[in-house]
């Protein structure tokens, strides 16, 4: 994560903070469309790491808006449910017919480019990831609700 921080700073991004050793980064920079920032980040990372990594960007404002909406409240989730948000590059086409359920994993809601799911840990493993990939492909990234809360807090500091 230190190398990632250094690469982004060298690439012109300011106030760079990395979180949780899983590629989560908060930074400041000139306002631009998410896709433009994604391409710049990917180029900076590739130049420093020698390898291409997919990047998904959300503004602090959009992240805070998602969290404040408390979208899971509208669903009756089983106890011990894990809530996850999958970041998409664009809304899926064709539009998903939700909810989609399989083996205790449920895709519940699509909010713009954010897909909200919930699952209960089982012996079948990460069923929710295969459900998401089957519905939206593999060019996605998924974070827990709690991780998004930590990222938003870090960005607000």
137 and 75 co-located in one domain: yes
pLDDT tens-digit series, residues 32-77: 999 999 999 999 999 998 999 999 999 999 999 999 999 999 999 9
Average pLDDT over the chain reads 93
Contact yes or no for 140/91 (Cβ under 8 A): no
Contact yes or no for 41/57 (Cβ under 8 A): yes
139 and 91 co-located in one domain: yes
84 and 42 co-located in one domain: no
73 and 52 co-located in one domain: no
- Span 89-104, mean pLDDT? 91
130 and 71 co-located in one domain: yes
74 and 149 co-located in one domain: yes
Q: Name the pLDDT band for 1 (thresholds 50, 70, 90).
A: confident
Contact yes or no for 137/146 (Cβ under 8 A): no
What is the pTM assigned to this prediction? Answer: 0.92
What sign has the CA pseudo-torsion 93, 71, 37, 25?
negative
42 and 71 co-located in one domain: no
74 and 151 co-located in one domain: yes
Check residue 104 and report its DSSP letter.
T
94 and 44 co-located in one domain: no
Q: Name the pLDDT band for 29 (thresholds 50, 70, 90).
A: confident
CB atoms closer than 10 angstroms to residue 50: 7
72 and 42 co-located in one domain: no
CB atoms closer than 10 angstroms to residue 96: 15
* Cis peptide leading into residue 99 (ω within 30°): yes
65 and 128 co-located in one domain: yes
pLDDT tens-digit series, residues 112-124: 999 999 999 888 8
32 and 65 co-located in one domain: no
User: Could you list the residue range(s) of the whole structural domain that residue 120 is in?
Assistant: 61-156
For the chain, the first-to-last Cα distance in angstroms comes to: 19
Does 21 have pLDDT greater than 80?
Answer: no
Beta bridge partners of 86: 115, 142
Q: Tell me how many domains the chain contains.
A: 2
Does 81 have pLDDT greater than 90?
Answer: yes
What confidence score (pLDDT) does residue 156 get? 84
């Amino acid at each position: 994560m230190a190398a990632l921080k250094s690469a982004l700073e060298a690439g012109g991004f300011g106030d760079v903070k990395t979180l949780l050793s899983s590629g989560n980064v908060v930074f400041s920079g000139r306002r631009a469309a998410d896709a433009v920032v994604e391409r710049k980040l990917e180029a900076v990372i590739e130049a420093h790491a020698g390898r291409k990594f997919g990047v998904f960007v959300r503004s602090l404002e959009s992240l805070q808006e998602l969290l404040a909406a408390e979208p899971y409240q509208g669903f009756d989730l089983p106890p011990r449910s894990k809530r996850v948000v999958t970041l998409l590059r664009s809304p899926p086409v064709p539009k998903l017919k939700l909810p989609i359920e399989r083996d205790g994993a449920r895709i519940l809601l699509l909010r713009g480019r954010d897909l909200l799911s919930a699952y209960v840990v089982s012996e079948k493993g990460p069923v929710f990831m295969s459900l998401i990939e089957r519905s939206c492909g593999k060019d996605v990234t998924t974070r827990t609700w709690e991780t998004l809360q930590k990222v938003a807090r870090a960005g607000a500091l």
